[in-house]
Amino acid sequence: MSHRRSSIAAGIFALAVLGGAGAGAAAAEQAATGAAPETAGATPGGGIEAKAQVCFTCHGPKGASTNEKYPVIGGQQQYYLYLQLKDFKAGRRENAEMQPIMAALATEDLMPLAEYFSQQRWPSLSVRVDPAKVQAGEASANAGECSQCHLGGYNGASSVPRLAGQHLAYLQKTMLDFKSKARNNQPAMSALMAVFSDEDIAGLAQYLASLTVQEQPGAVEIQ
Ligand code: HEC
Ligand code: HEC
């Protein structure tokens, strides 16, 4: 535990060093990577992959989280990711683990990070679900017309997140957070969740987590 905590602290420190001097440093870094042929193996985008490393500590390599406490972010919709990062940074979405990380990043880093993670492959997670609950969840999803915004296959688009194949425990927690307004950055989702019982929400999480992952057109060619 203390090792884990100190490696996260080290990551935050590294972010502060990478991003600390703000746009000037980022531009210099970008210029340096662009100009030096010996860094050809490095990722374009001003070292955004280096900054993404600290995210891997919790969200898994390239955002392909295998720990159900941490949402998958690799392959999530870019604009949705960007809005969440902005909301954590501004304190509109509260989380004790995310907020210190965001405080160490410059605003200019948020879109490149969102772009980087959106281009990764969504992992195939094996999830154990209860068929009866999945069925109840599907009925709730149809009644709530969730696919009107989250779209067919629950892949989302732009600022609407993909839900298909997200971690069950995370989905359930975040829907309960919308309902209680512990997550208060989207009034429409809070209003919608208020009409569902906690049991309905458990079913919705089971249904959404059980959905087969569909490749996003934009993500297919990324290795
Ligand atoms: C110390 C662990 C930790 C680290 C490091 C971390 N995160 Fe998170 N992140 C979390 C937790 C926990 C949540 C879920 C918060 C909640 O339940 O509301 C989260 C949520 C998110 C979300 C919202 C996902 C969604 O589906 O709504 C995004 C986006 C995100 N993190 C991006 C990042 C990025 C980018 C980095 C690196 C710059 C990062 N995180 C580093 C713990 C972490
Ligand atoms: C009117 C459009 C709309 C409808 C209908 C809708 N959603 Fe959403 N949903 C959103 C938007 C927009 C967000 C992103 C909120 C944000 O920016 O924080 C979201 C976020 C979510 C999230 C958070 C995902 C994450 O990664 O943290 C879950 C879970 C979710 N919706 C489930 C549902 C379910 C279940 C239904 C149906 C009962 C539903 N939504 C119906 C627009 C909608």
Average pLDDT along the chain? 83
Which residue segments constitute the domains of the chain, with CATH numbers given? 2-34+46-118 (1.10.760.10), 131-217 (1.10.760.10)
Output the six-digit token pair for 155.
């892949």
Cα–ligand 2 centroid distance for 190 (angstroms): 9
Cα–ligand 1 centroid distance for 186 (angstroms): 17
How far apart CA 179 and CA 172 sit, in angstroms, is 11
Q: What is the pLDDT of residues 163-209, one digit of tens each?
A: 999 999 999 999 999 999 999 999 999 999 999 999 999 999 999 99
- pTM (2 decimals)? 0.84
Q: What is the pLDDT of residues 12-54, one digit of tens each?
A: 555 554 444 333 344 444 444 444 333 333 444 458 999 999 9
Per-residue burial over 172-200, b = 16 or more CB atoms within 10 Å of its CB, e = otherwise: bbbbbbbbeeebebbeebbebbeebeeeb
DSSP reduced 3-state for 157: strand
How far apart CA 146 and CA 68 sit, in angstroms, is 22
Q: What is the pLDDT of residues 115-129, one digit of tens each?
A: 999 999 999 888 899
Within 6 Å (CB) of ligand 2, which residues are found? 71, 83, 141, 144-146, 148-150, 159-161, 163, 166, 171, 174-175, 185-186, 188-189, 192, 204
Q: Which residue has the higher pLDDT, 81 or 30?
A: 81
